[in-house]
Chains A and B, each alone.
Chain A
Amino acid sequence: MIVTRGLTKRYGPLLVVDQVDLDVREGDRYGFLGPNGSGKTTVVRMLLGLVYATSGDITVLGQPVPKQVGKVLPSIGSLVEGPSAYGHLSGRANLALMDAAGKSGARRTRRSRIAATLDRVGLGGIDNRPVKRYSLGMRQRLGLAAALLRTPKLLILDEPTNGLDPQGIREIRDLLIELNAAGTTVFLSSHQLSEVEQLCTRVGIVDRGRLVRQDDLETLRALTGRSIVRTPDADRARELLDGQIELAQAGRLVIADADTAALNSRLVAHGVRVTGIEAERRSLEDVVLSVTGSGSDRVDVQDGDRP
C-alpha cells in the first residue's frame, strides 16, 4: 500500500527525514510511532503530495507519488496535524464543500452520504451551529468524517485521537478496527504508545528522521524468557526458586524461567498459592525507549557548550 525507498527531506541544512524505507502492507493497521519532532508529520505530508521529497521514491497504492498523486488521493482519507474546517460554517456545510471539491461522489447522494458519515463518527445528531463553536473532540470527529466521506481504501491519520476523552478514544479505535476489518488499510501516526499498542498490528518506529525499527507488533513484543508470578506466599516461593528470582516486590516476582506452565505446577505442588502467572513480554515502551533518543522538543546543553 505504501512503499518508500530512501525517502529524505531536507529543509535547508536541517535533515528532517533521513532515508526512510516504509513498507505498509494491505490490511495493516500500521502504527507510525515516534517522539515529537521526529519527522512523522513530514513523512505523512510527503505521502499525500503536500511536501516534496528531497530524494527517494514513494509508491502509494501502486502509483508513484507525487507524480501520480492525483490518481491515488481519491482512494485515501487523511487527517493531518489536527482537523480544520471553515469556522463560520456548520459541520454539514463543511463536509458538503469538501465533498464538492475535487473528484467527488455524485451530488444527488451527497446529503445522505454526509449524514451516514456523521453518524459513523458519532456526530449524527449535530445541529447547524458553526464549527467555531465545536469542542476540540467534535472537531476531531468532524475531521475524521471528512476523511471517511469517500470510503477510502487507505486511511492516513496523524494523531487522530487528539483532544478526545477516553471514551471518544475508545470509540474511534473501535471504528478504525471495524473499518480495517472491512478492508481499509490504516496508517496511524502517533506519539502515544498506548494508542499504537492497542490498535496496530504493525509498527514503524521513527527517531530523529530515521526509521529505526519496523516490524509486526507481536514480533516487537517478544517474550523475554521470564515469567511474572503473583502470589501472597512470596517468601515460600523465594525459598523454592532461590537464584531464579530477578525481582521481587509486594507479591510480584519476576522469575528467569520461560516455561510458565511448568513453573506454575511446580509452585502449586509446593503449596505456593498463585494468584496470577504470565510470560513476560517486552512492552512497546521498552522497545521504543531502547531504539530512540529523547524527543527533539528537549534541547540539552551540549558538553562543549557548557561554560
Chain B
Amino acid sequence: MIRVELVKLARRPRSWVSLVLLCGLPVLVAVFVAVTHLAPPPGQGPALLSAVLSSGSLYPAAALAIVLPIFLPVAVAVVAGDSIAGEAGSGTLRYLLARPVGRTRLLAAKLVALVVYTLSAVILVAVTAYLTGIALFGAQPVAATAGGLTTSNIAATSLSGSGLSPADIALRTIGAVAFIAVSMLGVGAIALFLSTITDSALGAALGALAALITSEVLVTLNAASAVNPYLPTRYWLAWIDFFRDPIVWRNIERGFAVQGVYVLVFLAASWAHFATKDITS
C-alpha cells in the first residue's frame, strides 16, 4: 500500500510543480542578491541572508528561511490535506476501502507518503540552494557565525564566532533540515487530521494554515504568553541556533518536543476518527 501511495504521489503533476516552485524561489532570491550585491542588513529580511554574500555554503540555510514562513507550510498542508479528503472528494476512498485496504493501513501509507514528500521538499530546497549558493557566491569558509544571524536574540553586533569548516556547516545544515522537516510534519499532522474530518481537500489545507496563522499571531502577543510555549510555530525558527557557535540546544530541543507532541496527538486523533467514521463520500 505504501508503494501505491508513493506511486500516486509521484504521478501527480502537482507534487512536482510544488517542488519546482519551492526550489525556484530561493534561486530567484539568490540571483537578485548576487546581481545587486545588496543583501538585507542584519536584522531585516530572511534569516541568514545577509551572511550569504560572504559564503555561498550558508545559502541552504538562508533558502530554508525564505521558504519556511509560507511556501513550505502551504505545500505540506496541501499534500496532507489532500491525503484522505482528496480520495473522498474524488470518490476513490470507498473503492480503496472496499478493496479492501484497512483504514489504519491506508492512513499509515498516507503518512509515509507525506513524510517522504516533506523530507524531499526540504532536502531538495537545501540541495538546490547549496548548488546555487556555491555557483553565485563561492564557497569561502565562513568567518562570522553568530554575528551574521539576523533573528538572533543575542546581540548581533559582535563577530565573535569562530570559523566554521565546510563539514561543520554541512552537519549543521543537516540538523536544520531535520528540524524543519519535523516542524513541517507538525503542520502535516494537523492537515491530515482535518483531512479525515472533511471531504474537501481544500478545506483541510486551509484549516491547517488557519491554525498556523492563529499560532503566529498568538506568538507575538504578550497577552497570550501563557500559551506561548505550546504554540506550534513558537520554535519554528529555533533551527537558526544550529548556526551559532557553540550550538544553542535549548530551543531546538523544545522545538523538537513540541512538534513531536503535535504530531503524535494529531495522528492519534486522525486515526481514532478515521477508523470509526462512516464513509459516505
**Chains A and B form a bound pair:** yes
A binding-site residues for B, Cβ under 8 Å: 45, 48-52, 69-70, 73-74, 76, 78, 80-89, 93, 97-98, 100-104, 146
Interface flags, B1-42, vs A, CB<8A=1, else 0:
101100110011100000000000000000000000000000
Q: How large is the interface on B (under 10, 10 to 19, 20 to 34, 35 or more residues)?
A: 20 to 34
A91 to chain B, nearest CB (A): 14
Chain A residues whose C-beta falls within 8 Å of the C-beta of B1 in the assembled complex: 101-102
Question: Which among B7, B94, B101 is the interface contact of A50 at CB below 8 angstroms?
Answer: B94
Interface centre among B12, B13, B99, B280 (most CB of A within 10 A): B99
CA A146 to CA B94, docked complex, whole Å: 13
Does any Cβ of A come within 8 Å of B221's Cβ? no
Name B62-102 residues within 8 Å CB distance of A.
90-92, 94-102
| Set A74, A84, A87, A89: member contacting B95, Cβ < 8 A | A84
8 Å CB contact of A100 from B3, B12, B13, B278: B3
Instruction: Say yes or no: B96 contacts A102, CB within 8 Å.
Output: yes
Q: Determine whether the beta carbon of A101 is less than 8 Å from that of B99.
A: yes
Determine the distance from Cα of A103 to Cα of B278 in the docked complex, in whole angstroms. Answer: 22
Task: Tell me, rounded to whole Å, the shortest Cβ–Cβ distance linking B233 to chain A.
Answer: 33
Other-chain residue from B4, B91, B99, B280 in contact with A45 (beta carbon distance below 8 A): B280
Residues of B within 8 A of A (CB): 1, 3-4, 7-8, 11-13, 90-92, 94-102, 276, 278-280
A45 with B100, Cβ < 8 A, contacts A88-B12, A97-B8 known: no
**Chain B residues whose CB sits within 8 angstroms of the CB of A146 once the complex forms:** 95
Secondary structure of the B side of the interface?
loop
- A93 near B11: Cβ-Cβ < 8 Å: yes
Which of A80, A88, A89, A97 is within 8 Å of B94, CB to CB? A80
Given A86-B8, A88-B11, A88-B13, decide whether A76 and B102 contact each other with a Cβ distance below 8 A. Answer: no
Flag if A74 contacts B7 (CB, 8 Å): no
Given A45-B279, A51-B278, also A84-B92 (CB < 8 A) = yes
Report A-chain residues with C-beta under 8 Å of the C-beta of B280. 45, 50-51
Q: Which residues of chain B are near A76, meaning CB under 8 Å?
A: 98
Residue contacts A-B, CB under 8 angstroms, 22 given: A45-B278, A48-B98, A49-B100, A50-B278, A51-B278, A51-B279, A70-B102, A78-B98, A81-B91, A82-B91, A84-B90, A86-B90, A88-B12, A93-B11, A98-B95, A101-B4, A101-B99, A101-B101, A102-B1, A102-B96, A102-B100, A102-B101
* CA distance in complex: A86, B7 (Å): 12
Bound complex: CA A87 to CA B91 (Å): 11
Is the CB–CB distance between B4 and A100 below 8 Å?
A: yes
What CA separation (Å) do A98 and B95 show in the bound complex?
Answer: 8
Residue of A nearest to B11 (CB): A89
Q: Is the CB of A73 within 8 A of B92?
A: no
